[in-house]
Amino acid sequence: MKKQVRIRKALPGETPGYYNKTAKFLEKAAMGMEVGAPSMDSAKLNQIYDQVYISLKNDATPDILYNQLINEYALDENTSVMLIKSAMSKLAEEGYLDPEIVKDKTQPEEGVDPQQQVDEDNERAASDAEQE
């Protein structure tokens, strides 16, 4: 099987010939290029942040937005929480939200273990299911 290559004209100081695309690719990969891993660029995150900000301004609940960010935009939990917290704090600064609500939602309760709180929530859900 013959390989088709495109011969290029050499620039001053270069040797004439063709580019070996595989060698160039492997050279970039060796330098640390991520191959096939989509990265979330800042423009996309800013667009998502604007949507979160507008939704919170229009009285959407943070829980629904959190689920939407994880399911529709495929963001991880930390990024989703960070976007919601920053949008809520900006809304509080602008006077759209009560600062006390934002402080309660963004700061975890002291002395309460998050795993313990999750266990308590699961126990409440199980007891509610048994009562029905």
Q: What is the pLDDT of residue 36?
A: 46
Helix ranges restricted to H, 20-111? 21-30, 42-57, 62-71, 77-94, 99-106
Give residue 107's pLDDT band: very low, low, confident or very high (50, 70, 90).
very low
Stretch 72-98: mean pLDDT, rounded?
85
Q: What is the pLDDT of residue 130?
A: 63
Q: Residue 105: which residues within 8 A CB-CB, separation 6 or more?
A: 62, 85, 88
Stretch 99-118: mean pLDDT, rounded?
55
Q: What is the pLDDT of residue 34?
A: 54
Structural domain boundaries of the chain?
42-109
Structure token pair of residue 23: 């060698």
Q: Which residue would you say has higher pLDDT here, 8 or 113?
A: 8
Percent of the chain whose pLDDT exceeds 90: 4
Asked if residue 112 has pLDDT above 50, the reply is no
Give residue 40's pLDDT band: very low, low, confident or very high (50, 70, 90).
low
Percent of the chain whose pLDDT exceeds 70: 67
